[in-house]
Structure 1
Amino acid sequence: MSNFKLSLAGALAVVLLPLAAMAQSLPDLGGKSVVVVTENAYPPLQFIDPKTGKQIGWEYDAMDEIAKRLNVKIEYQNTSWDAMIQAVSDGQYQIGMTGITIKDERKEKVDFSDPYMRSQQFMLVRSDESRFTDAKSFGALKDGLIAAQPGTSPFYTAVYEILDGNEQNPRIKLFETFGATVQALKAGDVDLVLTDSVAAQGYVDASEGKLKVVGEPLGSEDFGFIFKKGSDLVAPINQAIAALKADGTFDKLNKKWFLDYKMGQ
C-alpha cells in the first residue's frame, strides 16, 4: 500500500471512529416489546400507501431503524390525534409519533424525546412572480391563491400565518396530493405552494428555471416522540436519535420522503 493510500486510510479511520463509537455505545434493550401509536394521517411522516394499503413514511423508517439499533421489538397501533397524547400519558402506549410539535403545555402530560426534525415551510412560486416577495405581501394580494392539502402543516401555516385564520378562506385551493399542488402552480391555477426546504429546493432544481423560493421560512416547529412521564425509554431513544443524525441516516430519510416521494406524486 502506498504512503498516500496509508494516509487516506488513516484519515478515513479518524473520521469514522466517532460514528463507530457512537453506534457501539447505544444500549441493548434486550428485545424489549414496545407499542408505538400513530395516526397515519400526516404524509409523508406516516400514512397508508393507497397502492398497497401498508403503513409507510419517514417516521416508520426512523422508528424501525431506532428499534433495530436498540434491539427493540415494535408493535404499531393507531388512534386518533385527539386521543393520542392522553392515551400515551395514561400508559396505554409506550411511544406516540405523528409529527408532534414539542410544546411546554404538552410537557405537562408527557415526556418528549429530543427533536428529530425541524419543520419549516418555504414559499414556492413561479420564477416570473413579481407581485409579492414574502408572506405579508402575499396576504395583501387580494386575488392570490394558495394550493394545499387539507389538514397538513402547509395548510395551517397558510391559514394562520399568511391569511386571516379562516380555514374556509376561498383563497386556499385544496388538492389531494402535494404533486397536484405543484402542477397547479406551474399551470398558473394558483400562485403559491408551501413546502419544506428539501422538497422546495428539489422542485426548483428540477424546474428548468420555472420555479423559485421567496421570503423567509414560516411555521418553524420541532417534532419529537412522546412518552409517559418518567419513561425509561426516553434516554435510549435520544441516544439513537443522536446517532441517526450523526451518521446521515436522517438526511437520507429526508431525501427519500421529502424530495423523492413528493416529486414522484
Structure 2
Amino acid sequence: MKAFAILAAGLAALASVAPAQDLPDLQGREVVIATEDAYPPLQFVDPATGAAIGWEYDAIAALAERLNFVPVYEKVSWDAMIAAVSQEQFDMGMTGITIREDRAEQVDFSDPYMRSEMFMLVRADEDRFADAASFAADADLLIGAQAGTTPFYVAVYEVLDGNESNPRIRLFETFGASVQALRAGDVDLVLTDGTAGQGYVRANPDSFKLVGDPLGSEDFGFIYPKGSDLVPVFNAGIAALEADGTLDALNTKWFLDYSFGQ
C-alpha cells in the first residue's frame, strides 16, 4: 500500500504540471472507448471490487488529464473490437492490441505505448519441454489461445506447423480463461507478452513459470477509425507520458508492485 501511495502521489504530481505542456486540448470532448477487460495487467476486472482496472485505464486517465477529454468505456469482445472500431461504433479501442499491418488496413493505430516480447507460460512443475522446439515435438501437448490474437499466430507459425486449424490449439474467449485452463491442466502452454507473464509468475510462483527464449517482440497501440482526428492528439499525449516518466511509473505499479489474485 505504501508503494502504491507513493506511485499515486507521483502520478498526481505529474498530472499537475500538464497544463504547462504544449498539448492539444479536446475541450472536454467525450471519447467512447471499446475495452475487453480480459488482459491483465493492462485491463481486467478486480475480483475483490468488480471494478475495471489496469495499466491502460491509468494511462487513459493520465491522457484525459493532459488532453482534456472525458473517457466513456464500453465493454466489447476481442473478436468484435477491431471491426466495431473500424465501423466507427467507438472512437477508439484498447486491450493490449499489437500493431500489425493487416490490422492497420482496417483501423488507424496510435504510436506504440509499450513494447513486449512473447514468452511461454507453463505450469510450475512442467518438465516435458523447455522451449518451442521440444513443445512442438510432443504431439500430446496443447496450447491455449484466443483466435486472431498475436499469441494465436505465434503459436501457429513460430511454435507449430503453420496450420491455423491445428487441433493442438485450444481456443478460449479470453486470455484469463486460457490461463485458468493451463492451471487446471487442460492445456500445457499459453503464450503471453513477457510483462503480463511475469506478473502471473510473481503472483503465483507455485503455479506458473516462464520457459524458453522470447518468441519475438510486439508493439502495443490504441486503435481508431481510419482517418480519426484523435490519432495525432493521442500520439502527442503518449509522447508526453513517456517524457515525464508516467509510463515508467505505470510499468512499476502494474508489472512490479501489483499483486494478482490477492
TM-score (norm 1): 0.68
Structure 2 residue matching 1:91: 3-state secondary structure: coil
Partner of 1:17: none
Q: For 1:137-190, what per-residue CA distance to the aligned partner results, in whole angstroms no more than 9, with x for missing partners?
A: 3322456676x6767865664455324555652899x98585995x789xxx99
Q: Could you tell me which amino acid in structure 2 is paired with residue 42 of structure 1? A: Y
Aligned to 2:43: 46
- Say whether 1:66 aligns with 2:63: yes
Q: How many pairs does the alignment contain?
A: 239
The answer to whether the 8 Å contact 2:145/2:191 transfers is: no
Query: Match of 2:168?
Result: 169
Once the 2 structures are TM-superposed, how far is the Cα of residue 125 of structure 1 from its aligned partner? 7.1
Aligned to 1:214: 212
C-alpha contact 2:119 2:210 (8 A) present in aligned 1: no
- How far the C-alpha of 1:26 sits from its partner, in A, is 1.7
d(CA) in 1 for partners of 2:26, 2:170: 51
Distance 2:209 2:197 in 1: 9
2:84 is matched with which residue?
87
Deviation at 1:233, TM superposition (A): 1.1
Identity %: 60
1:1-150 map, 5 Å: 24-123=21-120, 134-141=131-138
The AA in structure 1 aligned to 2:89 is Q
> Residues 73 and 199 (structure 1 numbering): CA distance in 2 closer, same or farther, change over 3 Å?
closer
Quote the offset at 1:94 in angstroms: 1.1
The aligned amino acid for 1:228 is P
Cα distance in 2 for partners of 1:32, 1:42 equals 27
- Greater CA drift, 103-112 or 227-236: 103-112
Shift of 1:80: 2.8
Which of 245, 254, 257 is the equivalent residue of 1:257? 254
Distance (whole Å) between structure 1 residues aligned to residue 156 and residue 35 of structure 2: 25
- The farther-off stretch of 42-51 and 56-65 is 42-51
- Any idea what SS the aligned residue of 1:75 has? strand
TM-aligned CA deviation for residue 235 of structure 1: 0.9
- The runs of 5 or more residues in structure 1 that have no matched partner are 1-19
CA deviations on 1:185-213 (whole Å, 9 max, x unpaired) are 9xxx9976654334666758x97xx9675
Secondary structure of the residue aligned to 1:121 is: strand
TM-score by length of 2: 0.68
Give the Cα separation in 2 of the matches to 1:244 and 1:26.
Answer: 11
Relative to 1, partners in 2 of residues 1:78 and 1:156: Cα closer, same or farther, differing over 3 Å? same
Aligned residues: CA RMSD: 4.1
Structure number with greater Rg is 1
Report the CA distance shift for 1:168/1:47 in structure 2 as closer, same or farther (over 3 A): farther
Structure 1 residues 195, 240: CA separation in 2 closer, same or farther (over 3 Å shift)? same
